[in-house]
Amino acid sequence: MRVELLCTGDELVTGLTTDTNSPYLEARLFELGIKVSRVVLVGDVREDITQALREAAHRADVVIVSGGLGPTADDFTAECAAVAAGVPLVEDAGTLQFLRERAAKRGRELTPNVARMALVPEGSEVVPNPVGAAPLFIVGMGGCRLFFLPGVPREYRALVDGEVMPRVRNELEKRPGRTYRAFRLLRTVGIPESVLDARVAPLAAAHPRVVFGFRTHAPENQLKLMAEAPSQAEADTALAAAEKAARQELGLAVYGTDGDSYPGVLAKLLTEARATLSLAESCTGGLIAAQLTGVSGASNFLLGGAVVYTEPMKTAWAGVSPELLATHGAVSRPVAVAMAEGIRAECKTTYGLSVTGFAGPTGGTAEDPVGTVYCALAAEGAPTRCERFSIAGDRDLVRLFAASYALELLRERLLTPPSAP
Amino acid sequence: MRVELLCTGDELVTGLTTDTNSPYLEARLFELGIKVSRVVLVGDVREDITQALREAAHRADVVIVSGGLGPTADDFTAECAAVAAGVPLVEDAGTLQFLRERAAKRGRELTPNVARMALVPEGSEVVPNPVGAAPLFIVGMGGCRLFFLPGVPREYRALVDGEVMPRVRNELEKRPGRTYRAFRLLRTVGIPESVLDARVAPLAAAHPRVVFGFRTHAPENQLKLMAEAPSQAEADTALAAAEKAARQELGLAVYGTDGDSYPGVLAKLLTEARATLSLAESCTGGLIAAQLTGVSGASNFLLGGAVVYTEPMKTAWAGVSPELLATHGAVSRPVAVAMAEGIRAECKTTYGLSVTGFAGPTGGTAEDPVGTVYCALAAEGAPTRCERFSIAGDRDLVRLFAASYALELLRERLLTPPSAP
């Protein structure tokens, strides 16, 4: 079944409003196995709306239209629908009565502009709006059914959930050979998108029912798996097999799935391990602390975080000796190690994590140019691990990846504790 | 000039991602007086993309296409562009060289999937990507010019600002009878949107050429002023008059304009005052430090930031006495004051800023429920100022506004130093 969405309104094409209605409906339809094939946004221009309606009705089985059903001068979607369908506008008696009673309840007369909301294309099915004034109306054009909804998000969602989805589900169940879908998002860190692709691509042949997709949301790369099959059980089975194969290939790089967040996953690991953490951040400047404290319950494991932008504070809070700083410079392996060990001692935590580097755009040396970052993890009864990273990109990106790489040292340790000596 | 946008990607039609690229570009175009006539989102389906390209090129003068230019198997927008334009894909030598050097810098070989990003429709104008791998390419189809950009927001915005907008502006200046527009965004903090609206609305009548618009981007509220006139000089004059009136009404709440960032403005004030700052953050957990250190040069004024989530660390780093904590509790006026004064003494800075509160969802007391935040500012030669705030919203929002309110204490002080005794 081919479904398209059409949203009208000047605010949607001038950057004033982000269309959040469509993603809501798309997700609801996707749960039914329907991938929306096109979303169109047009401004409040009669010819554009009419033309877009005709084109969509020509291509799709179902079109869900929103916006332009209100009482003001720039609301003329019903008018365009009538023109596109080649029928006149007629007054719907039930809606008129409803609008009159609604006005009376508020102690008002029914004004002509509000009464306009009762005008619908001839032959429409009209469905009352449970949370607002303008009704939903449904128009047939050729083989296509077009649903017209108000654009106000609260009304849109109520009508989508209560009226549109049941009708679409009904329609779908009448069709032979419908496709069932199952979906999984695998969230990875630490491997570039091109490497992720190269490692996963060879799996595709063995999983013909599954589409492998990729998405970048720095510092994450996400692998999207979508299975399609003639029954839900087959889609679920195909998805499970592809997910297993992908996980085998990607190993620890997969930190979570679907709605998981990286700080949330790490917080869970720390809490389960009954471990505590302290941070000494130089170039990330509090970014790691801010990410972790975004999780409710962070006070259970994050005992302290020091933003040590200057050498005296590295000494005062992370116990880095002035001699070490003078000998090696603040951005160096020995200083990163001393920061991690010093902050752990200062805060008396299971783990101490440190970051020092050149975030840019200024700074850096010939040996350690802008983008060079040292991260270190100190832990009880194990040697401190320190890694050097070269991060390409601007200041924001260097900081973002520096935070991610540092936290990865910790996540790896929590998942694969070093064997006892 | 008729401009359409076309965005590709399964994530855009399955509810996974909200398209934020288009509103960004729409706003930029609207500043030039161009209202985008249509936005189309399609999934990763070759025929759909190709068809949408053909239709858009047929209707519009300029089409800006995004997404599907990456190195993975579901990136095939260039291929579709070539099919729609009826030309073969060819390898762009400059891009190939750029990709090879980029890989080498990262110590990697150029893999075949990355090399695919050098394939563009024959006859394209190719423009390097300043912040990523995939280039911008521009294709002519009939009377229409199509710009192809990566969908990654950072890359999209850089190419829109640096390459697309100058070309569109150029094109526009060649056309007769246009409307001229002038635009100003006034960025405010500390006043709710409804109050902003109520204070500014009475100005509209005196400025008929200026449209007053509002936008919320927590914790900011923004006032958008757009002047329209038959000449640029008239538009500029009308805008200047409206801006003056709005500033008079809003006073210090206006912290900046257009592309200013709050941390950037504060960093400038601190640097100009040759002042230094230290932070003691409890419920904001490093958020203030992370915001300020996002500004290059933050090391000139931010000497240290302490994330003191636990009572022992409040004592160790911010010098808050255990007795004070026991008597008043960690979320209290006396503790906020002690944190600000203690961190200032510890870091030897001009100012010490502290935040302590209940970010939720758990915690809080009958007197100080979730959302209660105390912020304090300690300074040399002036009494410490402490304010209590009640913030509605979830954990993220409480933290965001707590950080904003705390920084506002500092900004106000920098703009209006207390008079000498």
Q: Do B43 and A27 touch (CB under 8 A)?
A: no
Portion 321-350 of A in contact with B at CB < 8 A: 346-347
The model's pLDDT over A161-213, given as tens digits with 9 standing for 90+, comes to 999 999 999 988 888 777 788 889 999 999 888 889 889 989 999 999 998 88
Position A117 scores a pLDDT of 93
Query: Mean pLDDT across the stretch A17-27?
Result: 91
Of A39-43, A407-411, B228-232, least confident by mean pLDDT is B228-232
Query: Mean pLDDT across the stretch B312-335?
Result: 96
Position B161 scores a pLDDT of 96
Give the Cα separation of A12 and B234 in Å (integer). Answer: 28
Going by pLDDT thresholds of 50, 70 and 90, the confidence category of residue B47 is: very high
Position A419 scores a pLDDT of 63
Q: Do A309 and B296 touch (CB under 8 A)?
A: no
Position B193 scores a pLDDT of 74
| pLDDT above 70 for A289 | yes
Q: Domain A3-174's class?
A: alpha beta
Query: Mean pLDDT across the stretch B176-181?
Result: 77
Q: Do A299 and B310 touch (CB under 8 A)?
A: yes
Chain A interface includes B373 (CB < 8 A): no
Q: Which residues does chain A have within 8 Å of residue B305's beta carbon, measured at their own beta carbons?
A: 285-286, 306-307, 309
Q: Which residue of B has its CA nearest to A8?
A: B38
| pLDDT above 60 for B420 | no
Give the Cα separation of A384 and A337 in Å (integer). Answer: 7
| pLDDT above 80 for B314 | yes
Q: Which residues does chain A have within 8 Å of residue B71's beta carbon, measured at their own beta carbons?
A: 193-194, 197
Give the Cα separation of A343 and A289 in Å (integer). Answer: 14
Q: Which residue of B has its CA nearest to A360?
A: B296
Position A215 scores a pLDDT of 80
**Mean pLDDT taken over chain A:** 93
ipTM of the complex, rounded to two decimals: 0.79
Q: Do A26 and B15 touch (CB under 8 A)?
A: yes
Q: Which residue of A has its CA nearest to B7?
A: A39
Q: Do A305 and B290 touch (CB under 8 A)?
A: no
CATH of domain B265-415: 3.90.950.20
Going by pLDDT thresholds of 50, 70 and 90, the confidence category of residue B419 is: low
Going by pLDDT thresholds of 50, 70 and 90, the confidence category of residue B421 is: very low
Q: Do B45 and A37 touch (CB under 8 A)?
A: yes
Domain A262-415 has CATH 3.40.50.1000: no
Closest CB to A13 among B36, B294, B307: B36
> Taking the domains of chain A in order of start, what are their residue ranges?
3-174, 180-257, 262-415
Position B393 scores a pLDDT of 80
Going by pLDDT thresholds of 50, 70 and 90, the confidence category of residue A421 is: very low
Q: Do B396 and A294 touch (CB under 8 A)?
A: yes
Chain B interface includes A161 (CB < 8 A): no
Portion 216-275 of B in contact with A at CB < 8 A: none
The model's pLDDT over A229-249, given as tens digits with 9 standing for 90+, comes to 989 899 999 999 999 999 999
CATH of B3-173, one of 3.10.20.70, 1.10.1740.10, 3.30.365.10, 3.40.980.10: 3.40.980.10
Question: What is the distance in angstroms between the Cα of A40 and the nearest Cα belonging to chain B?
Answer: 5
Q: Do A303 and B313 touch (CB under 8 A)?
A: yes
pLDDT above 90 coverage of chain A, percent: 75
The model's pLDDT over B27-38, given as tens digits with 9 standing for 90+, comes to 999 888 889 999
Query: Mean pLDDT across the stretch B271-296?
Result: 96
Of A33-42, A307-316, B219-228, B353-362, least confident by mean pLDDT is B219-228
| pLDDT above 90 for B12 | yes
Chain B interface includes A64 (CB < 8 A): no
Position B58 scores a pLDDT of 96
Q: Which residue of B has its CA nearest to A211?
A: B74
| pLDDT above 60 for B338 | yes
Chain A interface includes B298 (CB < 8 A): yes
Going by pLDDT thresholds of 50, 70 and 90, the confidence category of residue B228 is: confident
Q: Do A40 and B40 touch (CB under 8 A)?
A: yes
Q: Do A307 and B312 touch (CB under 8 A)?
A: no
Question: What is the distance in angstroms between the Cα of A362 and the nearest Cα belonging to chain B?
Answer: 8
CATH of domain B180-257: 3.30.70.2860
Position B63 scores a pLDDT of 98
| pLDDT above 90 for A31 | no
**Mean pLDDT taken over chain B:** 93
